[in-house]
Structure 1
Amino acid sequence: MDSHFLQLDNRKGQDRTMHSLNTEQIQQIIPHRHPFLLIDQIEDYVPGEYAVGYKGVSYHEDFFRGHFPQKAVMPGVLILEALAQTGAVAILSLPENRGKIAFFGGVQKCRFKGMVLPGDRLRLETRIIKRKGPVGVGEATASVDGKTVVTAELTFMVGE
């Protein structure tokens, strides 16, 4: 199911297998579908720990028709949603969470530092930093061309 390649794991000083997912594989883990699936690809993930994904931002996205007609900018709340979906891949890929849903519980320490425009390739990274039962927190960063555009802590709850 996953495609694999090796990367040096600096924490342990040894090789580890990276896991990538295409859109169809992402949809096997999280319940989101078009037009609300906001990640195109997962470059790497470790269940319960983190996920790194991408969204190719096209001028043809429905939200650009109204946000804003004179200056197309991806809404910040949709960038947060894309980060949450990326974190959901990490948490819902755990065997005990398969088939469940990760619900938003809150957003803390959110900072918008740049705009996401048509043609951008949005990099999404969410690391799970706390978990207790069905509740957890993810540290999330979105960037374009290496420049951070959003940071936040996302609280989630896993449910049926």
Structure 2
Amino acid sequence: MKNNNYKQLEDSSHSIGKLIFQLRRLERNPRTFSDAGTLTPSEIHAVDAIGEDRNILMSQLADRLGVTKGAITQVVGRLEKKGIVCRTPHPEDSRAVEISLTEKGVVAYQAHRRLHQNFYRKLREQLSSDEIAIFEKCVKTFTSILNEENDGE
């Protein structure tokens, strides 16, 4: 029985490896988002975070995305050149800058949301609620184990 469980885990590990490969490939390739144009994954992730809050400070955006302020400044600069976001001085703190979506940015945000909704719809069509719950538990378990492994290095 233990050998069978080990084989199942090994097969699952290979499947997870394939999933990670697919996710990495998706994270490298720019996509076109409706009339908003083509955006890189880092750009659309920033658009998504800005769209959730409507107005967000540069420092908050960097924290939310887990990147440095320098990195987010570059991403926001590219988005600003594309007409996706605009920067405005914070009304109370002259050192802070607020970022908001332009109309074109809202189009990108909504197109990205639709992409996610379509993906989740497809998952719900193929997986039961119990299977989704098991998947979520597995992801949390894998993440926890990987965090322990990384902390031990």
TM-score when scaled to structure 1? 0.26
Q: Whose radius of gyration is greater, 1 or 2?
A: 2
Q: Which has the higher strand share?
A: 1
TM-score when scaled to structure 2? 0.26
